[in-house]
Amino acid sequence: MSRIVVQKYGGSSVSNIDSLKQVAQRVVQTVQAGWQVVVVVSAMGNTTNELIALAKSVSSSPTRRELDLLVSVGERVSMTLLAMAINDLGVEARSFTGSQSGIITNENHVSARIVEVKPHRIVAALEGGCVAIVAGFQGVSREKEVTTLGRGGSDTTAVALAAAVQAEYCEICSDVDGVYTADPRVAHSAIKIDNLPMDAAIAMTRGGSKVLQAQAIEYAKSQGIAICANATSKPVGQGTLISPGPIPSLPVAIALDDQLLSFNPSASENLERIKGALRYAYRRENQLYWLIDLRNLHDLSEVSQFVNARPVAVISLVGGCDDPGVFVKASSVLASLDPIAEWSSMKSYMAVIEPQDADMAQKKLHFAFFE
């Protein structure tokens, strides 16, 4: 059997018909290079957000079951159109929904977790000489209910399938050609990282890096699957290779999360419904504060009751914190911005800062540690 690669294409890679046709050509080139290809595709552009908005236009509180059924349509559109485009280029392709692909999840609508993959139809398609096109972000529970995997779920679909079909690696394609030492749009001298240890990649995603999804990398680590983060416009095999390994003893990258809300919870407040969005807790002046991930809240009114809540950002310097000098240097570099709090976690230096200071903090840390 030929070597197998799983390629995942995000919404920006299939945002319109021209982009989708470019993806089809890239897949065909991969086949012509001797690979068997499984493609995992996201919904086109902003389709998922548009479907959610459509749901909210008819119901103020749509049920999670119906939301899952609705938003799963987006990936089904992408997968079928891509299969058609590949077939037109002379390579046979077949599309499959998450359930048809054997993606079995738990019962948690909107934020399901993959519990098992039974890729019988995918393997049969590959053995029949076809490219298998799979709808990302979705699966089916053991009760035969359609489920979705939450934000970034197509990455997890791709990694899970790569493990199930014993692919050589999983290529995550987007409009960025790899993982950089910082956001290159902010730190213009940011450097692309050719090889990134998996533990460092997990720390970066937990710190807010948007190139990959934390759950997908953690799944890859558990299954021993290498990931390549690449741009759709670049040839197969380029980009950043993410493979098993510990966080380096030297700083490796900067991550930023600017979608957080900080508040000081009181015993009188009902906190149970927002615990799933808790990212960090820290102390300042002997007061406990929570940092809530706004992206994990389905209703922002859940935090409107907290009178002392305010938006903040967390910046992370990943790696190097085995050396106390790294923490001291990072703290000194950001001193002029007066961080709200600082600590070390997962061998990373982390600081809570005002959102308006985020760009300057990235520039300062990058200049101090990478230039």
Q: How does pLDDT run across 247-257, given as a tens digit for each residue?
A: 998 999 999 99
Evaluate if pTM is beyond 0.95: no
Rg (CA), the chain: 21
Q: Can you name the residues that pair with 312 across neighbouring β-strands? A: 260
pLDDT digits (tens, 9 = 90+) for 26-71: 999 999 999 999 999 999 999 999 999 999 999 988 999 999 999 9
Fold observed for domain 253-370 = VC0802-like (3.30.2130)
- Contacts (Cβ under 8 Å, ≥6 apart) of 67: 52, 55, 109, 110, 148
Fold observed for domain 4-175 = Carbamate kinase (3.40.1160)
Containing 69, the helix (H) or strand (E) segment is helix 64-88
- Strand 348-353 to 310-318 pairing: antiparallel
Share of the chain above pLDDT 70, in %: 93
**pLDDT band (50, 70, 90) for residue 364:** very high
How far apart CA 249 and CA 246 sit, in angstroms, is 9
Cα angle 206, 209, 214 (rounded to 5 degrees) comes to 40
Answer for the pair 331, 366: CB distance below 8 angstroms, yes or no.
Answer: no
Mean pLDDT of 341-361: 92
| pLDDT for the residue 16 | 95
| pLDDT for the residue 115 | 94
CA distances (Å), origin 146, targets 34, 64, 107, 136, 139: 34, 11, 9, 12, 6
pLDDT digits (tens, 9 = 90+) for 197-251: 999 999 998 888 877 788 889 889 999 999 999 999 998 878 999 998 999 989 9
| pLDDT for the residue 298 | 54
Please report, for the chain, the start and end positions of each structural domain, with discontinuous segments joined by +: 4-175, 253-370
**pLDDT band (50, 70, 90) for residue 301:** low
